[in-house]
């Protein structure tokens, strides 16, 4: 009898898993049957998640669900398993802060991140995560941000010079997303790892590490890759060796999966090179001032801190290496897309752009070419534009948590069940997935008022409504969920804030941005990314990511 082929083995595993999930779903009781919510979607397999995360239609699903059902609704997860979609502030406080050890990232999220980044901050839970965070916290403090501010200006001034070359002959259409991506990568390279990825010259070839990080989210969000992650991968991850896991990925006949594999290889190999170069430099006792970033980069400090840590707190080299891809991914993609969104908004609102330009120009005239940390962070209009843009357009619109045990979830205000009965708390069974809508919480009219869905930076130029503080949204930043909160809040949100303000202050001071006339489409690829209606297509049918804007030198007359 002939042995089964690799494809037959994979199909058999998939069939077994699907059959088990079907039986489990058929005989399971729906704990949220009394809670209103949208119909289960066109796909039994994907439930509402395919609609929720659809790169084009996800916006409408999020907005319509929040508008029709309010702060809590029942949705269907994978295999139509009952799940919740919510943004109730009190519920969020329990999920993100009070009971954060009960509500953790889903198994799929942790498995995927372990294979993508290694055992970094995005791949660990509980005490393991807290141990890593304890070592990393000092390098993201305000004190360290102040020391790194000159590096931020040094990098951004190269960007400023290159764009000036491009527009020297007059107004020019420029893909600003590409520039924001290259700049974000170079900023995390120099200030994070003492490493230069990019000269930031107009015609320089982009580093493959940056290209891989930029395309990773879209690759992981491909339907075929998602299907692999939630069906085949649990078997492979729990029972297979790394060699076997690699064989499975290589064997599966899905181009999108192989593209993600190649991205991960580039990221890992580059991370190892950076780590080993840093270790060699420190071992040789080289003068820190001769290193890129002056020896104040995050990795140099981490390696030194780790070597002097107690055995209990010390991390293995593999976990330090994992932080390189993890921090680059977290720092580059979210911030570069946030900067692109702000430039797009300022191009559409020239009156606000002029206010920011006047403010930053005056600041530079008073303080010189480089502003110190306190000055650049305190500019009112620049700060208002950043806060409002991050409120209305968070780079990550949703996140997910899984209940690890049965638990009661209280609500800020009661919801009405399908029978009209008031519900003040919900029993969450162990294993339930909860979709946290960052987007809907940031736009909640009960918190932000009737103009919550409007981009109005001026709202931050005066005291906010009492309803904002009263809501007690558990976010770490400005009463918003953009950077989350609790023990898994974005560790680098101060880094991101500094980056956005330095880049914007120098660009707006020197250049005028206006729409290109091309229709900009903001895709929900887990991270929101811009493209255009007429963008060229890749081999997998995806539109090229880009943000074309018309750019010209500021008229100083």
- Rounded CA-CA distance 108/95 in Å is 18
- The token pair at 472 is 């007690």
Q: What is the 3-state secondary structure (H, E, C) of 100-142?
A: CCCEECCHHHHHHHHHHHCCCHHHCCHHHHHHHHHHHHHHHCH
> CB of 487 within 8 A of CB of 180?
no
- Rounded CA-CA distance 143/411 in Å is 38
Pick out the residues of the known binding site.
Answer: 490
Residues 6+ apart with CB under 8 A from 144: 138, 296, 301
Phi, psi torsion values for 515, nearest 5 degrees: -60, 150
End-to-end CA distance of the chain: 86
Q: In terms of DSSP H, where are the helices of 349-399?
A: 350-367, 373-377, 380-392
E strand or H helix that includes residue 398: strand 398-403
Instruction: Give 272: exposed, middle or buried? Use CB within 10 Å, 0-12, 13-18, 19+.
Output: middle
Pick out the residues of the known binding site for heme.
Answer: 490
Phi-psi region of 118 (alpha: psi -120 to 50; beta: other; left: phi over 0): left
Residues 6+ apart with CB under 8 A from 525: 55, 217, 218, 221
Q: How far is CA 180 from the centre of its chain?
A: 15
Instruction: Give 165: exposed, middle or buried? Use CB within 10 Å, 0-12, 13-18, 19+.
Output: exposed
- The token pair at 32 is 């949220």
């Amino acid at each position: 009898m002939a042995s089964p082929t690799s494809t037959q083995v994979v199909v058999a595993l998939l069939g077994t898993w699907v059959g088990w999930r079907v039986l489990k779903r058929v005989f399971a009781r729906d704990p949220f049957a009394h809670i209103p919510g949208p119909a289960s979607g066109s796909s039994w397999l994907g439930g509402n998640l395919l609609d929720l995360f659809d790169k084009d239609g996800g916006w409408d699903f999020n907005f319509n669900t929040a508008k029709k059902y309010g702060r809590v609704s029942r949705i269907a997860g994978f295999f139509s398993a009952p799940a919740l979609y919510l943004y109730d502030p009190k519920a969020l406080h329990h999920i993100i802060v009070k009971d954060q050890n009960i509500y953790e990232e889903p198994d799929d999220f942790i498995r995927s991140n372990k294979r993508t980044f290694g055992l970094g901050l995005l791949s660990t839970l509980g005490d393991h995560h807290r141990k890593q965070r304890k070592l990393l916290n000092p390098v993201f403090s305000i004190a360290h941000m102040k020391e790194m501010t000159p590096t931020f200006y040094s990098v951004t001034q190269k960007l400023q010079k290159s764009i000036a070359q491009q527009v020297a002959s007059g107004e020019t259409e420029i893909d600003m997303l590409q520039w924001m991506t290259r700049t974000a990568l170079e900023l995390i390279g120099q200030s994070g790892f003492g490493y230069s990825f990019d000269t930031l010259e107009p015609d320089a070839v982009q580093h493959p590490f940056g290209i891989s990080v930029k395309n990773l989210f879209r690759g992981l969000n491909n339907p075929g890759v998602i299907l692999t992650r939630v069906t085949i991968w649990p078997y492979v991850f729990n029972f297979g060796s790394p060699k076997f896991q690699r064989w499975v990925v290589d064997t599966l006949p899905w181009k999108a999966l192989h593209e993600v594999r190649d991205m991960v290889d580039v990221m890992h190999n580059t991370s190892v090179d950076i780590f080993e170069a840093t270790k060699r430099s420190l071992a040789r006792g080289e003068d820190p001032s001769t290193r890129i970033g002056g020896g104040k980069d995050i990795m140099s400090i981490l390696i030194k801190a780790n070597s002097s840590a107690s055995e209990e707190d010390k991390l293995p080299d593999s976990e330090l290496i994992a932080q390189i891809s993890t921090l680059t991914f977290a720092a580059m993609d979210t911030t570069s897309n946030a900067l692109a969104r702000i430039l797009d908004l300022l191009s559409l609102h020239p009156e606000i752009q002029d206010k920011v330009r006047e403010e930053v120009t005056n600041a530079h005239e008073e303080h010189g070419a480089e502003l110190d940390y306190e000055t650049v962070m305190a500019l009112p209009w620049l700060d208002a534009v950043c806060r409002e843009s991050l409120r209305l357009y968070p780079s990550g619109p949703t996140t997910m948590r899984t209940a690890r045990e049965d638990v009661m979830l209280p609500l800020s205000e009661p919801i009405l069940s399908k029978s009209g009965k008031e519900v003040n708390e919900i029993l969450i069974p162990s294993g339930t997935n909860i979709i946290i809508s960052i987007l809907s919480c940031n736009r909640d009219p009960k918190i932000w008022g009737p103009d919550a869905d409007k981009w109005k930076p001026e709202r931050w130029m005066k005291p906010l409504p009492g309803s904002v503080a009263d809501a007690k949204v558990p976010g770490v930043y400005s009463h918003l969920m953009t950077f989350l909160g609790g023990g898994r809040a974005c560790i680098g949100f101060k880094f991101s804030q500094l980056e956005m303000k330095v880049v914007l202050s120098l660009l707006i001071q020197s250049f005028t941005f206006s729409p290109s006339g091309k229709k900009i489409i903001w895709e929900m690829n887990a991270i929101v990314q811009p493209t255009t209606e007429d963008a060229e297509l890749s081999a997998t049918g995806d539109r090229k990511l880009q943000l074309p804007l018309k750019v010209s030198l500021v008229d100083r007359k």
